[in-house]
Amino acid sequence: MALGSPMFRKLLLTALLLIMVTVVMLDLLLSRYTVSRERSRTQSHLATEAAILAGEAEALTVGGLAAWTRTAAQRAECRVTFIDPGGVVLADSEADAAAMDNHADRPEVAEALKGRRGESIRRSESVGRELVYVAVPVTVEGRGGYVLRLAVPLHQVNTAVAEVRRRLAEASLVAGLLALGIAYLWSRMLTNRIARVKDFAERLAQAQFAGTLPPGPDDELGQLARSLNSTAQQLRDVMESLRLESARREAILAGMVEGVLAVDHELTVTFCNQAFARAVGARYPVPERLPVLELMRDPSFLELLSRILVSGEPRQQRLQLAAAEGHSFRVQASPLDLKSGRGAIAILHDVTDLERLERVRRDFVANVSHELRTPLAAIQGYAETLLNGALEDSDNNRKFLEIIKAHAVRLNQISSDLLALSQIESDLSVPPLERVRLREVIDAAVRSVEAEAGLRGVAVHHRGEAVDGTVLASIVGLEQVLVNLLDNAVKFNRPGGEVWIETGTEEDGTTRIVVADNGIGIPSEDLPRIFERFYRVDKARSRAVGGTGLGLSIVKHAIERMNGRITVESQLGRGSRFTVLLPAG
């Protein structure tokens, strides 16, 4: 990887450029130096040789010059030329002396003719090469003025320069290889570190905040790594607090009593809490990306959501859901701006209890005025009739007065029932509970309805194994309860009907007293409401049998004050069954 990386190439190029510049400069310097050194070395060598040969030449004769010149050239390994004082070449080791022109004008020869050593470097016309010349004055056969000239070609100098250049090339090759290696190692180290930082930063960008980056040496890269590490730590902290926050919100939403449903612009469920799923009869948790139609099909709710998606205006409405039988809800729906478009969120409040309480209160006021007005109207009417002359009508006056009395009794009964109820409700202190023998209370209660039962042709039985036991109750309260229940069972019955009072013990030890009949029963839609004050299933019949509409309300409150419970089952036309549960004494 490092070999192909841009970093490596840049480092290598820089190193090679530096090496090249160095080599070129070195070459320039060294070759100049070498050339000048070689020349002066060659010249001084030639000067030494010339001095030696000049000594020998003094013993020569002019006739032996040619032969000596050749041997001297061999010994000194250079070209040797002998010139007479007039500039005429007498002998030459490499050229034909006779063919050579006068050499008196050659700078080194001219110098030597003046009696000094002459030197020059120039191209030879005789041999056609660049030569280094040294000429010295020589005495031959006792006569001075002759010149001995030595010459070597300059190529020896060039060879030396080439040698220097070869060494330089070798050295720069080694340096280049070294630079390659160093650039490779250095770039690999750098690129590895950078790659680690880059990977880490990319992971951060992809929201993977785990792990830390080894910072390495304290250079710029190390500082970068350290600041990335602290960024990652901060991101981790932020993410953690966000996660906690969303988990908390999720828990709050999931645990809310109100149903919460969020949908996106395609009416696909994005959130649904347990309360909502329960209200619509769906399974919880709801599968991901469920179309809302598969969660619930209620047309008015769907229309509400669609309207929100179109208009973006929050709305609310009342809703009854088939799956939550008998419950009513208020839905508040608002638009929800999502990235994908406008969604909606709906919050479902169960307002069943609220509505029921409201209705009970409303009905109570209506009922109580109705219950009071009927006897009062009768009393007023008959009293007016009497005053308008009926008082003297001996056939009717007594009858009218009895009707007035009956209605007054009824008013009295209603007000004492209301009083009893309000006492029970307002008196929070529990009445003294005592061990009450069931047999005694039941016998007393049965006795008090016997006359009514006989009139209506209804038989009252009692049976059960727990009848000899005791319960923890108030004796007056329990008798009141049983009389009320038995009274209802007898009155809402048919001639020849039967009423049972059964006792038994529940698994948890509480005592069960059941008052059952095979009378007319209670319609299922009325069952939840029969314990309400003045609630009557069949108003005409109830009044005809002399009920105030408060009996069961009193029963329920009295039992609750004795720490008991009452439940009812009934089937229309088959009879009813009230079950009282009381702690055993």
Partner 1 sequence: MRHFIEELDDLQAELLAMAGLVEQGVHEGVLSVTGRDPERARRVLMNEARINQMEIRIDEMVTRLLALNQPMARDLRFLTAAIKINNDLERMGDLAVNIVERALSLARQEPVNPEIDMPRMGRLVESMVRSSLDAFVRRDTHLARTVLAADDAVDDQRNIICKELVAFMERNPATISRALDLLLVARSLERIADHATNIAEDVLFLVQGIDVRHHSETRG
Would you say 13 and 179 are in contact if contact means Cβ atoms under 8 Å apart? no
318 binds partner 1 (CB under 8 A): no
**Hey, what are 334's tokens?**
């608002």
Can you tell me whether residue 347 is helix, strand or coil? strand
- HSE-CB of 496 using CA atoms within 13 angstroms: 0
CB of 421 to partner 1, least distance (A): 28
Q: In what order do the strands lie in the sheet with 498-505?
A: 459-464, 498-505, 511-517, 575-582, 565-571
Which residues ranging from 325 to 344 are in contact with partner 1 (CB under 8 A)?
325
281 binds partner 1 (CB under 8 A): yes
What track of x and - describes contact with partner 1 for positions 463 through 502 (by CB under 8 A)? ----------------------------------------
Q: In what order do the strands lie in the sheet with 341-350?
A: 269-272, 259-263, 341-350, 328-338, 315-320
* Beta strand residue intervals within 210-340, DSSP E: 259-263, 269-272, 315-320, 328-338
Q: Out of 523, 528, 544, 565, which residue is the one contacting partner 1 (CB under 8 A)?
A: 523
Would you say 518 and 571 are in contact if contact means Cβ atoms under 8 Å apart? no
323 binds partner 1 (CB under 8 A): yes
Q: End-to-end alpha-carbon separation of the chain, Å? A: 92
CB of 455 to partner 1, least distance (A): 23
Closest CB to partner 1 among 78 and 537? 537
Neighbour count for residue 154 (Cβ, 10 Å): 19
288 binds partner 1 (CB under 8 A): no
Neighbour count for residue 337 (Cβ, 10 Å): 9
Which residues ranging from 235 to 274 are in contact with partner 1 (CB under 8 A)?
none
CB of 185 to partner 1, least distance (A): 57
Q: Out of 294, 384, 450, 468, which residue is the one contacting partner 1 (CB under 8 A)?
A: 294
CB of 318 to partner 1, least distance (A): 14
SS3 content of the chain, % helix, strand, coil (to 5): 55, 20, 25
Please give the distance of CA 422 from its chain centroid, rounded to a whole number.
58
CB of 581 to partner 1, least distance (A): 26
- Count of positions on this chain that bind partner 1 (CB under 8 A): 23
Q: Out of 416, 524, 528, 560, which residue is the one contacting partner 1 (CB under 8 A)?
A: 524
Query: How far, in Å, CA of 372 to CA of 86, rounded?
Result: 177
Name the one range near partner 1 by CB under 8 A: 163-171, 240-248, 286-294, 389-397: 286-294
285 binds partner 1 (CB under 8 A): no
Name the one range near partner 1 by CB under 8 A: 15-23, 294-302, 358-366, 417-425: 294-302
Name the one range near partner 1 by CB under 8 A: 2-10, 126-134, 183-191, 516-524: 516-524
544 binds partner 1 (CB under 8 A): no
CB of 508 to partner 1, least distance (A): 31
572 binds partner 1 (CB under 8 A): yes
Query: How far, in Å, CA of 436 to CA of 423, rounded?
Result: 22
Q: Out of 14, 36, 48, 571, which residue is the one contacting partner 1 (CB under 8 A)?
A: 571
CB of 518 to partner 1, least distance (A): 12
Query: How far, in Å, CA of 87 to CA of 159, rounded?
Result: 33
* Beta strand residue intervals within 129-276, DSSP E: 130-140, 143-153, 259-263, 269-272
Closest CB to partner 1 among 362 and 399? 362
Residue whose pair of structure tokens reads 């056939």 in the numeric block: 395
What track of x and - describes contact with partner 1 for positions 415 through 444 (by CB under 8 A)? ------------------------------
Q: Which residues of 523-538 are buried (b: 16+ CB within 10 A; e: fewer)?
A: eeeebebbbbbbbbbe
Closest CB to partner 1 among 64 and 528? 528
* Residues at the contact surface with partner 1, assessed by CB under 8 A: 281, 283, 291, 293-294, 296-300, 302, 322-323, 325, 520-521, 523-525, 538, 571-573
